[in-house]
Amino acid sequence: MTFSNLRYQLADDGIATVCFDEPGSALNTMKPEWYADMVALADQLHEDADKLKGVLSTSAKKTFFAGADLKGVLTLKASDAKASFESIEGLKRAFRRIETLGKPVVAVIEGAALGGGWELALVAHARFVLNNPKIPLGLPEVTLGLIPGATGITKMTRLLGVMAAQPYLMEGKLFSPQQALELGLVHGVADSTAQLHAMAREFIAAHPQSAQPWDAKGYKMPGGGLSSPAMANGLAVAPAMLFNKAHGLYPAAQAILEAMVEGAQVDFDTATRIETRKLVRVMTGQTAKNMITAFFFNTTAIKSGKSRPGNAPVWKPARVGILGAGMMGAGIAYANAIRGIHCVLKDVSLDKAQQGRDYTHKLTSKQVNSGRMQAAQQLKTMALIQATDNTADLKGCDLIIEAVFENRALKAQVTQEAEAMLAADGVFATNTSTLPVSGLAKVSARPAHFVGLHFFSPVDKMKLVEIIRGEQTSDDTLARAYDYVLAIGKTPIVVNDSRGFFTSRVFGTYVMEGSAMLAEGIPAPLIEHAAVMAGMPVGPLEVLDATALSLSVQVLDQTRADYAAEGRTYEAGSGQLLVERMVKEFKRNGRAAGAGYYDYPADGPKRLWPGLKTHFQKPFDADPLQAQDAIKQRLLYRQAVETARCLQERVLTSSHDANIGSIFAIGFPAWTGGALQFVYSEGLDHFMANCAALASKHGPGFALTPEVIQTLRDYQVA
């Protein structure tokens, strides 16, 4: 029998080796040819049954198996549901024929087994894995808007129980080989390939007749059946907890929960058919396409350097200087040290610099206490941060990052003081959120080596860094900045210089649209609730409090001054004017000051300031659900329009930077696949019509110029 994506060999000792080896690819994937191979493999094993003593399932790639062909999923339509169902069921029949052959099947895993790869491993009666903590195992499909549909839900539920399996299915939580051993999902870990194969052969010798646990007489679901009191109580609250977290925006998580519970009440084969039905429903839907686009294809584009100019060798600084030891600078120091990069943390006094260094000690202490870091590793990490108040200590740094207050004069002062300390070919970066980099670079002696690195707070949690290319920033400098961001474990996006760049500019439209609604008299609770129900992490009023209303006013004042210096007048929007009133008239500066849109009492949770209703709210008699939908649309559309404008103005130059930047920096809902993907998932003509309606009612913030429309069409084709 011939195969196209695997090799089959039956040795004289009766052990058959199945080696998955997709031609011309670094990975093994579940492509149509592989589906046919699995059907043929089941036939071959049954044909050889009398001679078989066991089967070894292996891989010729660095990974065991990568999973589904995601490009194919993007092309699926609702009309493809029936064919998809039949195809998946055909694969499952092949799986079932292999695992019910009666002969021991053993998976020998030397690399990652994720998604369909882990489901393939679950076909085996035993799994043995190299003892390497960097090998990821599990079912992360939900993070791509999909569900495990090749028996993964059914088998993980039967191996772990309904409640215990939930994090690994509904959250896509991965596990290491050692964790898999502790969970009972693998039968052994080995320190070498030779030991791995020896353990697999020993299992075959010891288990000449093998069956899956759920096929054995007397099998009982771990954790008890659905009717047990503990299980019944847990399942009673699970749907509510899921809705509270996902707000009904993520159909994959809901489908997984349904498949787990429904499947646990029926026999194995019926359970897998339930799983297939739910997979087909999810994979032909728009949310899966959105999330696959962002979290697989866009993320892959960034990690592979699509936005990195040139082909110079990868660069990693040996020593990084950081100017300013406040929350931002301290976070940047931690990000360097945790990745093994020596850094010099400078502030105006040694005490302030030491306080910034202590931030890393606080974070690493939590990791030591939780068992995620050894005490020796903490000492090593702390030794990589040098706190100082002496500019001379920066001498020889390959990279210096200025992270002082958002004040042009102060940034100019520290730049001139520290730039001379750089290594001969060093890079100077400014961490600014709004000030144009080209203007800040005017004080630099080497503007070609000057770049913007916009970190987000808190740095230890935020994944993204926005790299801003100034007018004179060289390709080599930009490439080095890109490499550095990857070296500290962050995700880089590259944008061209402008006021607010991409992320701050679009973020500003979100919070100011919320403030504009408040100025219109819409109740603040409705604004905040609608934002969360749309999928934003927090409401626009709360997030504006967190970033400080006073900071927004400072930015407004600076913008007015900059416009005036150019002989122009800046026309502030209604949202900006309301924020200005909050600060200057009502003295409410934000969360740090204890008073903003919310009150922050020391003895209780935050609550909306009653003055919002007194000073701004107008009589409101609209239907709450309709009003909520209208608010959700305004908040999402306003950000999407500004993203489109950034594309047209060449602030953004790629769809992957637009989507990933909007999700990781701004919190644009993950279910949309990002701000640009949201436009296309709405349908461009539909989006344009809605923008026209919104612009006529709520102003030019929603207007699309012919140039912006053409840009959207161009990117859609690309």
Q: What is the pLDDT of residues 490-526, one digit of tens each?
A: 999 999 999 889 999 999 999 999 999 999 999 999 9
- Specify the pLDDT at position 242: 85
What CATH number is attached to the domain comprising 415? Answer: 3.40.50.720
C-alpha angle 472-474-475 in degrees, rounded to nearest 5: 140
Q: Does residue 488 sit in the same domain as residue 527?
A: no
Q: Rounded to whole angstroms, how far apart are CA atoms 679 and 657?
A: 15
Average pLDDT over residues 205-213: 96
Relative to beta strand 15-20, strand 54-59 is: parallel
Q: Is the dihedral of CA 626, 628, 632, 634 positive or negative?
A: positive
Q: Which of 567, 602, 618 is the last residue of a domain?
A: 618
For residue 458, whether the previous peptide bond is cis, meaning omega lies within 30 degrees of 0, is yes
Q: Does one domain contain both 490 and 512?
A: no
Q: Where are the beta strands (DSSP E) in 549-614?
A: 598-599, 607-608
List, in sequence order, every residue forming a beta bridge with 235; answer none if it has no partner. Answer: none
Instruction: Report the predicted TM-score, pTM, of the whole model to 2 decimal places.
Output: 0.92
CATH number at residue 127: 3.90.226.10
Q: What is the pLDDT of residue 522?
A: 96
Same domain, 509 and 394: no
Is residue 290 situated within a structural domain? no
| Residue 648 DSSP symbol | H
Maximum pairwise Cα distance, the chain: 90
Instruction: Tell me how far apart the terminal alpha carbons of the chain are, to the nearest angstrom.
Output: 42
Query: Which CATH number characterizes residue 702's domain?
Result: 1.10.1040.50
Report the C-alpha gap between 5 and 120 in whole angstroms.
Answer: 14
* Residue 299 forms part of a structural domain: no
Q: Are 491 and 299 in contact, with CB atoms under 8 Å apart?
A: yes
406: pLDDT confidence band, cut at 50, 70 and 90? confident
292-314 mean pLDDT: 95
For residues 676 and 590, membership in a common domain is answered with no
Whole-angstrom distance, CA of residue 476 vs CA of residue 694: 43
Reported as a single tens digit per residue, the pLDDT across 414-444 is: 999 999 999 999 999 999 888 899 999 999 9
The number of domains in the chain is 4
State the alpha helices, DSSP H only, in 384-435: 408-418
Position 407 pLDDT exceeds 90? no
* Contact in structure between 297 and 70 (CB atoms under 8 Å): yes
Structural domain includes residue 472? yes
Q: Which two tokens stand for residue 472?
A: 């004179």
Domain identity same for 186 and 87: yes
The predicted pLDDT at position 460 comes to 95
Distances (CA, A) of 299 to 9, 310, 657: 38, 20, 9
- Give residue 307's pLDDT: 94
Residues 249 and 333 in one domain: no
Are 612 and 644 part of one and the same domain?
no
Residue 289 lies in a domain: no
| For residues 131-135, average pLDDT | 94
Arithmetic mean of pLDDT, 446-462: 96
Confidence of residue 625 (pLDDT cuts 50, 70, 90): confident
Residue range 535-545: mean pLDDT, rounded? 96
Pick from 59, 38, 68, 150: nearest CA to 111: 59
d(CA 88, CA 411): 59
What's the pLDDT at 150?
Answer: 95
Residues 492 and 515 in one domain: no
Residue 677's domain comprises 625-650+654-718
Mean pLDDT of the chain: 95
CA dist 96 and 105 (Å) reads 12
pLDDT per residue as tens digits for the range 648-686: 999 999 999 999 999 999 999 999 999 999 999 999 999
CB atoms within 10 A of CB 107: 28
| pLDDT at residue 246 in the model | 86
Regarding whether 685 and 587 lie in a shared domain, the answer is no
SS3 per-residue string spanning 130-186: ECCCCCCEECCHHHHCCCCCCCHHHHHHHHHCHHHHHHHHHCCCCECHHHHHHHCCC
Do residues 676 and 614 share a domain?
Answer: no
CA 186/CA 166 separation, integer angstroms: 18
Is residue 368 in some structural domain?
A: yes
End-of-domain residue from the set 594, 618, 642: 618
**Chain segment 223-274, per-residue pLDDT in tens:** 887 777 767 777 777 888 888 888 999 999 999 999 999 999 999 999 999 9
Q: What is the pLDDT of residue 707?
A: 98
pLDDT over threshold 90, residue 33: yes
Q: What pLDDT score was predicted for residue 533? A: 97
Q: Within this chain, do residues 339 and 462 fall inside the same structural domain, yes or no?
A: yes
Average pLDDT over residues 202-217: 96
Q: Give the model's pLDDT for residue 142.
A: 97
Strand order in the sheet with 491-496: 385-388, 342-346, 319-323, 397-402, 422-430, 450-455, 464-469, 491-496
- Segment 117-130 mean pLDDT: 98
Domain boundary among the residues 468, 498, 528 is at 498
Mean pLDDT score, 274-290: 97
